[in-house]
Amino acid sequence: MSALFKGWGLGIETAEYWHWLARNHRSFADLLGISEVIIVGENEIEQAIKPVTGDTIVYGDTVLHHPGYYYSQAAECLRQELAKMRSLVVIVACAEANVDRG
């Protein structure tokens, strides 16, 4: 995935990357929130998970966090995006000031 991002000129130093990551965290949190509303019996969960994991039963509580965790991660990504955008504004303002002087 990182090679694909580099090909597009995206990376952790760009605001677009942080926007993309925040959107993904938010979507995942929304899906987890919806899935908590759906009530399924334990036997049905076991039957659904066995084909994926073999005989081992994996419970969602041991693998996934609460949706709030992913909302928090999305908010942190938005903070990073804002910081990258602010630094870009400063760079553009400095470049314009240097052009006006020259």
With a CB cutoff of 8 Å and minimum separation 6, the contacts of 12 are: 18
Which of 31-35, 40-44, 61-65 bottoms out in mean pLDDT, i.e. has the lowest?
40-44
Question: What does pTM read for this prediction?
Answer: 0.63
Asked if residue 43 has pLDDT above 90, the reply is no
56 to each of 35, 60, 62, 64, 87, how far by Cα in Å?
22, 13, 13, 17, 49
66 to each of 33, 39, 48, how far by Cα in Å?
8, 16, 21
- Encode pLDDT of 15-40 as tens digits: 888 999 999 999 999 988 887 666 55
Q: How many CB atoms lie within 10 A of CB 84?
A: 18
